[in-house]
Each structure stands twice: as structure tokens, then as C-alpha cells.
Amino acid sequence: MKSRVALEPLAEEPGCGEEDAARRRSGLHAALHRWARLLSGGVAGDDARPAADLRVLLSVLACPLSPVPLLPRLPRHVASSAQYIIEQFRATTGCGKLEDGAVKSMYASGRVRLSMLQEPGGGGGGGRGHEGSFVLWQLAPSMWLVEMSVAGQSVAAGSDGRVAWRRTPWLGAHAARGGSRPLRRALQGLDPVTIASIFSTAEHAGEKEVDGEDCFVLRLDVGPSVLSSWSDGTAEVIRHGLTGFFSQRSGLLARLEDSQLTRIQSPGAAAMYWETTIASAVSDYRAVDGGVAVAHAGTSTAHLARFGVGVRAARVVTRMEESWTIDDVAFNVPGLGPDAFIPPEEVRRSRSYGAAIAGGK
């Protein structure tokens, strides 16, 4: 594995303490804050908009986490309709071959295209697209590392099994609140073992047709105590849920949706609400090493809604899209060990990382 050097953080805005203020916010909230100022005319210059759009695209779609953590290995018995659906998924994907311990690690690489989308009725079709690529390493499976490069901007995120973190060139590296959680990208059909683990305690929420396919619906909602652990002095996560749509015909995951509502209030400012919804269509399952079925393509559409006092419209909604294809998947990567998943030094020195380790999260 090649050595990785942390990228130098760039100031959000020159002067006026904006860089320090940005660092006090979480990475996503800081990007959204600057982008909202740009849309409202707070930043001059036509050239600033494409750069801001790309930052928001990467902040929302590049490295989002699952809202729920991996669970301890549960006994393999069917006690509910939801568990029956997951057993069908296990059988169809062949992920039992990964769960028996024979596979310790995974590697995947692929290509992505990110774009802002026009609102319905706005005319002009889709927005400008940004091409890029990504690579993902995973170790049994709570340790992972993803690196993505799009249009000259590179972001990375990882987990050492205890704490998840993210690094961007505009905010540096920071630990995520809430301890270690799986990468959402792994849930998009790429890692059937993680998908089965995440949805093993879901509730069966009925049936729905998705893109012409009859699907079982499994729903997970994050509890209040967990949401509280994600919040800080300026950002309160009000709700976050995850829904999986599993084909009745094939047993495969066909669609993944999650939605998060966050209340942001800086000192002396009115409260602002951000609602982020991401829906991913998963397709092109192919058998790889040993016959395990892995999805090789998909599309995610994100809706980012902003509302609150001072917003010109009652609800400002931005739509963005990611399409991806997987070029290569391999299991049991030679030489891949825990040392490849050590967080950047600035994350290890942070108070949030120390607190997470001390709390056993």
C-alpha cells in the first residue's frame, strides 16, 4: 500500500475568521454553509459557483455513512418476515461464502459521474457533469478506506473499526460523530455481507413496485440516543432512517433510500433546517470470486432541501445525481492489514477521536 499524505486544508473564505468557523462545524455542514451563502449572493464571482457545486456534490455523495452500525453476528434462523427476506438475499448473493471467514478483505474500483440537476419544469436538462474514479479497500468488514478523485478534487474517508473519519482538501481531516459505521457505498450492492448485517434487524414495512419490480420493503430508523451522539452545539440530527427494497423475484437489493433531517443554529443566528434524501437504484449484479453476486452499476439521486427563517422561498430544493460503474472487485487482497486503515494524524490528535476511543465507541 502506498503511503498517504494528508492534503493541506484550504480556507473556506479569506479573512474574517471564516476558516476557523468552518473548522468548528462538521465537514458537511461547513460545505453547506458556504454553498448557501454563495446561492444567496454572499460570494462574488461567476467562477465560484462550479467549484462550490462540486464541493457540495462531493460532501453529499462521495463518502456518506450508513445511519446504522454493523451488528454482532446473529444466529441464522428465520423468526420474522424481515429475516426471511434477508435469508433469501443471502442465498441469492452467495454471501454465506464470505460470512464463514474464508474471505478477510475486499477491493473494488470504479468510475463515477456527479452532476447538479435542473428542477422539474426548469428547462435545460441536467447540469454540468464531473467525471472521476474511486477505489475502496475493506477488511473484515468494519475497517474500510475509500478514496475518490473527481474533476481535480480528491476526498477520502475511512474507518479503523472504532472511529470513522473523512478528509477533504477544503476542510482537512476530521472524525465523524457516532463512532464507526459502514460506508454507504458498500451498501449499494457492493458488499452483500454488510447489507445482510445492516438489515438483519429491520422491520418489514410492506411491498412496493420499484422500476417495474415488485419489492419487499425493509425499514430501519435510528433511535433518539444515537441521534443525540451525532449532534453538537450547532447541529442537531432530528431523524435519520434507511430503507431497502428487495426484489421478490430475485431476492436482490434493488433500491436503497435514506433521509436525514438536521437543525443547524449558529450563535446569534436563526435556526436553519437541512433535509438530505438519497435514493440509489442498484443494478448489474455479476458473480465474482467464488460466485458471490456483486452489483456493478447504479445511480443515486439526492434531494437537498433547505428551509427556515430568512430563506427566500419556503423550501429551497437542490437535486444532484451520481452514476457509477464498478470496474474491478477482488477478495482476499494480498498484504492488506490493519495498518492500512490507521486514520490521518490530525484525526488521531483530535479531541473527538480521543473521546470516542475512551468511550469504547
Say what the pLDDT of residue 5 is. 29
Say what the pLDDT of residue 28 is. 55
**CATH of the domain spanning 28-357:** 2.50.20.10
Whole-angstrom CA distances from 261 to 24, 237, 333 are 20, 6, 38
Q: What is residue 188's three-state secondary structure?
A: coil
Mean pLDDT of the chain: 82
Q: For 145-179, what is each residue's pLDDT tens digit?
A: 999 999 999 999 999 998 999 999 888 898 888 77
Percentage of the chain modeled with pLDDT above 90:
49
Residue 224 CA to residue 188 CA, distance in Å, equals 26
Q: For 286-318, what is each residue's pLDDT tens digit?
A: 999 878 999 999 999 999 988 887 777 777 788
On the question of pLDDT at 107 being above 80, the answer is yes
Residue 196 CA to residue 231 CA, distance in Å, equals 28
Residue 109 CA to residue 131 CA, distance in Å, equals 14
96, burial (CB in 10 Å: exposed 0-12, middle 13-18, buried 19+):
middle
Nine-digit cell at 308? 427556515
According to DSSP, residue 355 is labeled: H
Give the pTM.
0.84
CB of 148 within 8 A of CB of 155?
yes
R_g of the chain, CA atoms, integer Å: 20
Dihedrals phi, psi of 128, to nearest 5 degrees: -65, 135
Whole-angstrom CA distances from 46 to 16, 19, 210 are 22, 22, 40
CB half-sphere exposure, 42, CA atoms < 13 A: 12
Q: Categorize the per-residue pLDDT at 11 as very low, low, confident or very high, splitting at 50, 70 and 90.
A: very low
On the question of pLDDT at 234 being above 50, the answer is yes
Q: Which residues of 239-265 are buried (b: 16+ CB within 10 A; e: fewer)?
A: ebebbbbbbeebbbbbbbbbbbbbebe
Alpha helices in 295-344 (DSSP H): none
301, burial (CB in 10 Å: exposed 0-12, middle 13-18, buried 19+):
middle
CA-CA-CA-CA torsion sign (168, 170, 171, 172):
positive
On the question of pLDDT at 15 being above 80, the answer is no
Residue 268 CA to residue 55 CA, distance in Å, equals 26
